[in-house]
Amino acid sequence: MREGLEKRQGGLWVGGTLLVREGGVSFEPNLLNRAVQDGELAIELRWSDVIGVHVRPGFVTNIIELSHTDGTQAFRCFGARHVALEIDRAWKAATA
C-alpha cells in the first residue's frame, strides 16, 4: 500500500520542521513520523551542495524543490513561495 501511495503522490510525504540555517537547510520529521516510518527521515543540505530553488504547484499547498548535487529534494508547505524566497536569499548570501 505504501508503494502505491508513494507512486501516486510522487514520494513519501513526511510531516516535520524545515529549518533554514547558516550552513544550509535541514528537515526534522515530527514525532509521529519517526514512530511509524522506517529508516532515516532527517535531511541536511549544505549551501555548497544546493544548485537551485524552485516552487511548483501542488494540491492544497505548493512544493519547494531544492536541486542539489545528489538530486532533488521536495518540501510541501503552506507559504511555499515565501519560504522558497527565504531559502533562495540565504543560499545566495552564503555562496556569494
**pLDDT tens per residue, range 31-59:** 887 787 777 888 999 999 999 999 999 98
The closest alpha carbon to 56, from 73, 69, 33, belongs to 73
Structurally, the chain folds into a number of domains equal to 1
- CATH classification of the domain holding 40: 2.30.29.30
Residue 90 belongs to domain spanning:
2-95
pLDDT for 10: 54
Neighbours of 92 (CB within 10 A): 12
pLDDT of 72 above 90: yes
pLDDT at 7 over 90: no
Residues 21-39: what's their mean pLDDT? Answer: 86
